[in-house]
Structure 1
Amino acid sequence: MTEREPSRALAHPATGAIRLEAVLHALSDPIRLAIVRDLAGTETELSCSHFELPVTKSTTTHHFRVLRESGVVRQTYRGTAKMNGLRRTDLDALFPGLLDRVLAAADAESARLAEAAGLRA
């Protein structure tokens, strides 16, 4: 372990410090919700570079910081990659069913919008 490794640790709220309003704020942005949907669809951690987002790199960094600081994701460094994992267990323990309901609503909205776009085409 090098002396630089501890400085690369990222701050995360303890499970008991995660606040509902912070989680809802984090999930209210379409970009952040898309990130969470991708993470919810996999059992593995994903690097920040995995996500193809229609925003600048600095804005992407901001979105990941909001998700981390709200307690929605856990970020760790693996070499030079910043890996992201959904804190599903913590969120489910604090707010049972919330994440599943938000993800189901997001899926339903995507289907509704795709259908509406198909009708206009």
Structure 2
Amino acid sequence: MQSVLPHPARDEIRIEAVLSALADPVRLRIVRALAECEDGISCGVLDLGVAASTLTHHVRTLREAGVVHVRPRGTSRISSLRRDDLNALYPGLLDGVLAAPH
């Protein structure tokens, strides 16, 4: 049985943590990839050019900031954007970030 990872509740998500998490180029690429897959994806399938341990660190940072939700599925962990929470707290932020040129 896999343990459930801790996630901040909606009212615990802070703009400082969200902006800090989104400021990293690798994490921003993860968020953009997740935005294209509403059901979420295993971040291990993303080819981001970083080591698995580095990818794990980036996903953990996004999770702890409240940007993504990570759930176990078999031997994988599926990440998805917390779009509803972020839109409720910071309307337009995620859309603006995703629309920014890259």
Task: Bin the TM-score by the shorter chain.
Answer: over 0.9
Structure 1 equivalent of residue 43 of structure 2? 48
Question: Does structure 2 retain, via aligned residues, the 8 Å contact 1:48–1:81?
Answer: no
What pairs with 1:62-77 in structure 2 (closer than 5 Å)?
Answer: 62-77=57-72
Identity %: 56
TM-score with structure 2 setting the length: 0.95
TM (normalized to structure 1)? Answer: 0.81
Unmatched 5+ stretches in structure 2:
none
SS at match of 2:30: helix
Alignment correspondent of 2:87: 92
Q: Deviations over 1:90-116 (max 9, x none)?
A: 0000000000011111xx2x2xxxxxx
The gaps in structure 1 that reach 5 residues or longer are 111-121
Structure with a larger share of its residues in helix: 1
2:56 aligned with 1:61, yes or no? yes
Question: How many residues were matched structurally?
Answer: 102
- Tell me the secondary structure at the aligned position of residue 85 of structure 1: strand
Return the structure number with greater relative CO, CA threshold 8 A, min gap 6: 2
Amino acid at match of 1:9: V
